[in-house]
């Protein structure tokens, strides 16, 4: 059967001699895997269609699980996202996150538009640490794990102050803090942004100026949430962490003070 879809390339891997397999996120068929024959050959007409982040119009034959590209056309190459180090790192993270969090064949029209808007925002120079946090929230919601932010998950109290409990499912009021001692205390600005991101259509994302401390808390809160509920173990995250130098903030074990040396342990004499 011949399909024709718009899609965003969220994964591209080598396959056999000179070919590639791409995973597209499409509005109507969710994720679709397509073989692009000869994609790696220099003169290939379709090489650019197989590049990560490309937005294109794809026609492919499909009978089993994988399709085979018949023809296609680039609608937007998103070349900016392949340049430098930072752009590719952020965009690759968004692509991998999408690939891992979404099941095959899940209709994904809304998410498709969110990812496309995310790529456009990154390509357009909007603050990637804001764009990605907003996109993470879209993924979380699409996967069915939206946090409850406006009232206490435990008792329903809608009066703050709240703490953010990943295992609890969202906000915990002061009467219920004891239910999750690891719940995070967050700045008001972080609560506000979490709520905004949950409701926001990324196609309408403007330029939001966010303080560094707010960004760090946002990242921590969303990461805790994703680790608790999605557990994706993303390859692209390690590089991004190094890039953002946020690894230390999140590696609590590394930050925990060393236990005092036992008697007889040889120290180096400095304090
Ligand atoms: Zn409560």
| pLDDT > 90? residue 19 | yes
Tell me, in angstroms, the distance from the centre of ligand 1 to residue 140's CA: 23
- Model confidence, pTM: 0.86
Q: Considering only 27-31, 194-198, 257-261, 263-267, which range has the smallest mean pLDDT?
A: 263-267
May I ask the CATH class of domain 81-252?
A: mainly alpha
**Where does the pLDDT of residue 104 fall: very low under 50, low under 70, confident under 90, or very high at 90 and above?**
confident
When pLDDT is averaged across residues 26-34 and rounded to a whole number, the result is 93
Mean pLDDT of the chain: 88
Q: What pLDDT score was predicted for residue 216?
A: 93
Confidence of residue 241 (pLDDT cuts 50, 70, 90): confident
| Ligand 1 centroid – CA 149 distance (Å) | 12
> 61 and 1 in contact (C-beta within 8 Å)?
yes
Can you count the helices (H) and strands (E) in the chain? Answer: 8, 7
Task: Decide which of 112 and 87 is more confident.
Answer: 112
pLDDT at 265 over 90: no
Six-digit token string for 61: 């034959």
The Å distance, Cα 200 to ligand 1 centre, comes to: 26
The C-alpha atoms of residue 252 and residue 65 are separated, in whole angstroms, by 42
Predicted local confidence at residue 248, as pLDDT: 47
Q: How far is the CA of 196 from the centre of ligand 1 (A)?
A: 22
- Residue-wise pLDDT for 141-163, tens only, equals 998 999 999 999 999 999 989 99
Residue 245 is predicted with a pLDDT of 64
Q: Which regions of 152-212 does DSSP assign to beta strands (E)?
A: 162-165, 170-173
What is the distance in A from the centroid of ligand 1 to the CA of 28? Answer: 41
Superfamily assignment of 2-77 in CATH?
Nucleic acid-binding proteins (2.40.50.140)
Do residues 29 and 23 touch, judged by C-beta distance below 8 A? no
What Cα–Cα distance (Å) separates residue 105 from each residue in 3, 24, 94, 125?
14, 11, 19, 32
Distance 154 CA to ligand 1 centre (A): 5
Helical H segments across the chain, by residue range? 86-101, 109-123, 128-142, 188-199, 212-229, 235-244, 247-250, 252-255
Distance 161 CA to ligand 1 centre (A): 10
* Same fold flag, 2-77 and 81-252: no
Compute, in angstroms, the gap from residue 181 CA to the centroid of ligand 1.
13
Centroid of ligand 1 to alpha carbon of 2 (angstroms): 54
Cα 163 to ligand 1 centroid, rounded to whole Å:
10
Q: For a pLDDT cut of 90, what percent of the chain falls above it? A: 70
The mean pLDDT of 206-212, rounded to a whole number, is 91
pLDDT digits (tens, 9 = 90+) for 166-175: 999 999 999 9
Give 204's DSSP letter.
Answer: G
pLDDT band per the 50, 70, 90 thresholds, residue 253: very low
For 81-94, letters b (16+ CB in 10 Å) and e give: bbeeeebbbbbbbb
Q: What is the pLDDT of residue 117?
A: 98
Q: Which residue has tokens 């120079």?
A: 125
β-strand partners of 24:
9, 32
Output the CA 190–ligand 1 centroid distance in Å: 19
DSSP-assigned letters across all residues of 221-239: HHHHHHHHHT----HHHHH
- Cα–ligand 1 centroid distance for 176 (angstroms): 4
- Ligand 1 center to 146 CA (angstroms): 18
Distance (Å) from CA 145 to ligand 1 centroid: 20
Q: How far apart are the CA of 158 and the centre of ligand 1, in A?
A: 8
Q: What percent of the chain has pLDDT over 70?
A: 89
Query: Could you tell me how far CA 130 lies from the centroid of its own chain?
Result: 12
Domain spans in the chain, listed from the N-terminal domain onward: 2-77, 81-252
pLDDT surpasses 80 at 140 = yes
- Look at residues 108, 99, 34 and name the one whose alpha carbon lies nearest to residue 72: 34
- For residue 256, the model assigns a pLDDT of 41
CA distance 140 to 143: 5
Checking if the pLDDT of 190 tops 80, the result is yes
Instruction: Look at residue 42 in the predicted model and tell me its pLDDT.
Output: 73
**Which pLDDT band holds residue 263 (cuts at 50, 70, 90)?**
very low
User: Which residues have a Cβ under 8 Å from the Cβ of 162 and sit 6 or more positions away?
Assistant: 149, 152, 171, 172, 173, 191
Q: Is the pLDDT of residue 90 over 60?
A: yes
Predicted pLDDT of residue 242: 72
Residues 6+ apart with CB under 8 A from 238: none
225 CA distance to ligand 1 middle (Å): 19
């Amino acid at each position: 059967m011949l399909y024709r879809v718009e899609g965003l390339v969220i994964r591209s891997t080598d396959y056999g001699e000179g070919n590639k397999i791409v995973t597209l996120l499409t509005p109507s068929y969710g994720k679709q895997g397509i073989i692009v024959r000869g994609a790696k050959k220099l003169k290939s007409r379709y090489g650019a269609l197989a590049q990560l982040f490309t937005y294109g119009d794809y026609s492919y034959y499909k009978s089993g699980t994988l399709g085979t590209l018949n023809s296609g056309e680039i609608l937007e190459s998103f070349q900016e996202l392949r340049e430098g180090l930072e752009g590719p790192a952020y965009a690759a993270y968004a692509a991998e996150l999408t690939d891992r969090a979404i099941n095959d064949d899940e209709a994904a029209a809304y998410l498709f538009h969110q990812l496309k808007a995310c790529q456009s925002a990154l390509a357009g120079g909007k603050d990637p640490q804001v764009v990605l946090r907003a996109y993470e929230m879209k993924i979380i919601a699409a996967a069915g794990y939206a946090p409850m932010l406006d009232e206490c998950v435990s008792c329903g109290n809608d009066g703050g102050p709240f703490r953010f409990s990943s295992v609890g499912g969202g906000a915990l009021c002061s009467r219920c803090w004891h239910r999750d001692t690891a719940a995070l205390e967050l700045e008001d600005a972080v609560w506000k942004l979490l709520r905004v991101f949950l409701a926001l259509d990324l196609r309408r994302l403007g330029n939001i100026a966010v303080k560094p401390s707010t960004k760090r808390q946002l990242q921590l809160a969303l990461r805790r949430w994703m680790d608790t509920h999605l557990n994706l173990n993303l390859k692209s995250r390690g590089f991004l962490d190094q890039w953002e130098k946020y690894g230390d903030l999140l590696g609590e074990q590394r930050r925990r003070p060393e236990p005092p040396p036992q008697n007889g342990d040889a120290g180096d004499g400095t304090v």
